């Protein structure tokens, strides 16, 4: 019989969730891990008005973008399938990928610099997710279902005719808008002309395009109707980067705890002088800042990863402060140092470092853009073709020539053998490349057998336009081995 006493159960390394600590759990899940639906109250105020006007401008740019052209090219096109990228009307061909990569790097470093200095200003004011959710979908929801308390009551109510009608109307509108947004996104990928063809041609001709259309619509419907703030708190990598990028000098939406604490409900007819004498601060514990927050957090707990800097709590608190006759800005744009020590925005060594990297990259980009050649040509032997011997004794090879014209004028191109006597015959007449386009053609190169080596002969082809040599290309000419 085993008489060894049982060993003590090993201590679990899993830490219990402290539900009283806001940093230990997220506001959108309960103890069982179920979704806690957020019902943010309608907000109004100075910042909301400014954001509304700004969002109209952004929405106009977003919806009009695919139709705006510069030199006949779209404002922005990210055609990954055809590897064609257009930024501000400038086509970036696969040959320009280094320039494109540096531009993307500059964009990323700009985000670092901007975020270090100004926090998540982008998220609250310009991110398409926030703009669409708070300025379009949320407003439709308020219009159909009412403010937060009415939405709560409607969701708890039994399914009667009114509830069915409201829900149907809301979700039909949500889906229609999602379809529109999905199509706008698609037109930034394939161009509106191709999108128009998908819409007008018989469905069987564009099965893939239609599949993407439906997939994008369902994706956006899912995000705006159900997933909502979780896109910012669970998915968005930019939100996750905040803890790395922000420091005590970054400007964030912040609660002035020095002024606000200790919190306490404002008693009827109580003067603020009396409150302060009793040890209370300006926060009257009305919870208005929490009730308007679309991510369900309490900004009085300090800067949190979930905060998208939407300014709703600033407006809500300002309206409370105005009512009780206190200065506005208890919740405001400020840095931690600004609140603790009254410091203004400082130029920190980290910010300086980012700016040096940014300036170096911008300089490199400028050099590459200004020294970028206007024409890029490639000449490759036609796949699977062999040499041919002509009746006059010459040998010929078939090639495919591809010429990219990056200028905004038509470009007549001539090809000429540079190192050996011979001829180049362009199939189908002259090579004239339309502005900002790629032209592909077949060319026949003829060499005299006397100029050829056994097997492979290296040849050099010059690419000319207006008698000016733009490029030379080295390639190989195949002939008989003996």
For ligand SF4, the closer CB: 133 or 413? 133
146: left (phi over 0), alpha (psi -120 to 50) or beta: left
As measured in angstroms, the least distance from the Cβ of 266 to ligand SF4 is: 9
For ligand SF4, the closer CB: 133 or 461? 133
Among 310, 336, 413, 452, binds ligand SF4 (CB under 6 A): 310
Bond preceding residue 262 cis, omega within 30 of 0: yes
The number of beta carbons lying within 10 Å of the beta carbon of residue 276 is: 11
Q: Please, are residues 406 and 372 in contact by the beta-carbon 8 Å criterion?
A: yes
Q: What is the number of residues in the chain?
A: 482
User: Does 312 sit near ligand SF4 (CB under 6 A)?
Assistant: yes
For ligand SF4, the closer CB: 245 or 297? 297
Q: What is the DSSP string of 361-390?
A: HHHHHHHHHHT--SEEEEEEEPTT---EE-
Among 28, 250, 288, 457, binds ligand SF4 (CB under 6 A): 288
What tokens appear for 374 in the block? Answer: 């206007």
User: Does 283 sit near ligand SF4 (CB under 6 A)?
Assistant: yes
Stretch that binds ligand SF4, among 14-22, 99-107, 314-322, 339-347 (CB under 6 A): 314-322
For ligand SF4, the closer CB: 294 or 479? 294
Among 308, 415, 424, 445, binds ligand SF4 (CB under 6 A): 308
User: Does 51 sit near ligand SF4 (CB under 6 A)?
Assistant: no
Q: How far is CA 140 from CA 3, 43, 63, 181, 185, in A?
A: 72, 14, 18, 15, 21
Among 331, 334, 443, 461, binds ligand SF4 (CB under 6 A): 331
Report the C-alpha gap between 277 and 275 in whole angstroms: 5
As measured in angstroms, the least distance from the Cβ of 306 to ligand SF4 is: 7
Stretch that binds ligand SF4, among 12-20, 54-62, 65-73, 297-305 (CB under 6 A): 297-305
Report the C-alpha gap between 145 and 58 in whole angstroms: 26
User: Does 254 sit near ligand SF4 (CB under 6 A)?
Assistant: no
* CA dihedral over 135, 137, 138, 140, signed as positive or negative: positive
User: Does 339 sit near ligand SF4 (CB under 6 A)?
Assistant: no
**In angstroms, how far is the first alpha carbon of the chain from the final one?**
93
The number of beta carbons lying within 10 Å of the beta carbon of residue 459 is: 23
For ligand SF4, the closer CB: 195 or 312? 312
What tokens appear for 411 in the block? Answer: 């470009």
For ligand SF4, the closer CB: 255 or 399? 255
User: Does 127 sit near ligand SF4 (CB under 6 A)?
Assistant: no
For ligand SF4, the closer CB: 330 or 443? 330
User: Does 242 sit near ligand SF4 (CB under 6 A)?
Assistant: no
User: Does 270 sit near ligand SF4 (CB under 6 A)?
Assistant: no
Q: Exposed, middle or buried: residue 154 (CB in 10 Å: 0-12, 13-18, 19+)?
A: middle
The number of beta carbons lying within 10 Å of the beta carbon of residue 149 is: 11
User: Does 330 sit near ligand SF4 (CB under 6 A)?
Assistant: yes
As measured in angstroms, the least distance from the Cβ of 308 to ligand SF4 is: 5
User: Does 79 sit near ligand SF4 (CB under 6 A)?
Assistant: no
Among 109, 195, 198, 253, binds ligand SF4 (CB under 6 A): 253
User: Residue 413: which of 370, 379, 372, 383 has the closest Cα?
Assistant: 379
| Locus of tokens 């896109």 | 231
User: Residue 434: which of 464, 460, 399, 404 has the closest Cα?
Assistant: 404
Q: Give the binding-site size for ligand SF4 (rule: CB under 6 A).
A: 29
Among 132, 320, 339, 377, binds ligand SF4 (CB under 6 A): 320
| Locus of tokens 């090879």 | 397
- At 262 the three-state DSSP class reads coil
Stretch that binds ligand SF4, among 128-136, 170-178, 301-309, 345-353 (CB under 6 A): 301-309
Q: Which residues bind ligand SF4 (CB under 6 A)?
A: 253, 255, 260, 283-289, 292-295, 297, 299-300, 307-313, 316-317, 320, 330-331
């Amino acid at each position: 019989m085993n008489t060894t006493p049982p060993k003590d159960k090993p201590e679990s390394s899993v830490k219990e969730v402290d539900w009283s600590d806001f940093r230990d759990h997220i506001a959108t899940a309960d103890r069982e891990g179920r979704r806690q639906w957020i019902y943010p109250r309608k907000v109004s105020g100075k910042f909301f008005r400014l954001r509304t006007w700004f969002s109209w401008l952004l929405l106009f740019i977003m919806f009009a973008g695919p139709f705006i052209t510069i030199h006949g090219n779209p404002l922005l096109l990210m055609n990954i399938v055809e590897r064609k990228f257009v930024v501000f009307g400038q086509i970036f061909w696969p040959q320009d990928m280094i320039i494109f990569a540096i531009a993307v790097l500059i964009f990323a470093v700009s985000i670092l610099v901007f975020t270090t200095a100004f926090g998540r200003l982008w998220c609250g004011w310009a991110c398409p997710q926030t703009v669409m959710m708070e300025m379009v979908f949320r407003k439709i929801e308020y219009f159909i279902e009412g403010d937060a308390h009415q939405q709560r009551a409607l969701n708890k109510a039994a399914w009667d005719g009114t509830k069915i009608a409201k829900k149907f109307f809301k979700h039909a509108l949500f889906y229609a808008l999602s379809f529109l947004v999905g199509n706008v996104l698609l037109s930034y990928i394939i161009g509106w002309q191709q999108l128009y063809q998908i819409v007008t041609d018989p469905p069987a001709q564009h099965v893939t395009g239609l599949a993407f259309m439906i997939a994008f619509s369902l994706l956006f419907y899912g995000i705006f109707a159900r997933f909502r703030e979780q896109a910012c708190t669970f998915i968005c990598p930019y939100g996750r980067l905040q803890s790395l990028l922000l420091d005590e000098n970054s400007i964030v939406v912040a609660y002035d705890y020095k002024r606000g604490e200790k919190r306490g409900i404002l008693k009827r007819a109580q003067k603020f002088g009396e409150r302060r004498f009793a040890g209370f601060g300006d926060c009257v514990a009305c919870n208005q800042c929490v009730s308007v927050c679309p991510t369900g957090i309490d900004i009085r707990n300090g800067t949190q990863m979930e905060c998208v800097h939407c300014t709703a709590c600033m407006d809500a608190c300002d309206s409370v402060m105005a009512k009780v006759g206190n200065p506005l800005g208890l919740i405001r744009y400020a840095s931690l140092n600004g609140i603790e020590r009254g410091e203004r925005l400082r130029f920190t060594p980290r910010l300086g470092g980012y700016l040096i990297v940014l300036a170096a990259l911008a300089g490199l980009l400028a050099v590459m853009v200004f020294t970028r050649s206007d024409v890029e040509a490639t000449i490759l032997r036609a796949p699977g073709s062999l040499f041919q011997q002509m009746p006059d004794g010459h040998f010929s090879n078939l090639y495919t020539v591809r010429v990219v014209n990056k200028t905004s004028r038509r470009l007549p191109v001539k090809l000429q053998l540079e190192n050996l006597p011979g001829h180049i015959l362009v199939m189908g007449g002259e090579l004239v490349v339309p502005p900002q386009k790629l032209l592909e053609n077949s060319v026949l190169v003829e060499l005299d057998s006397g100029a050829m080596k056994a097997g492979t002969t290296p040849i050099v082809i010059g690419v000319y336009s207006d008698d000016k040599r733009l490029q030379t290309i080295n390639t190989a000419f195949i002939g008989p081995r003996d």
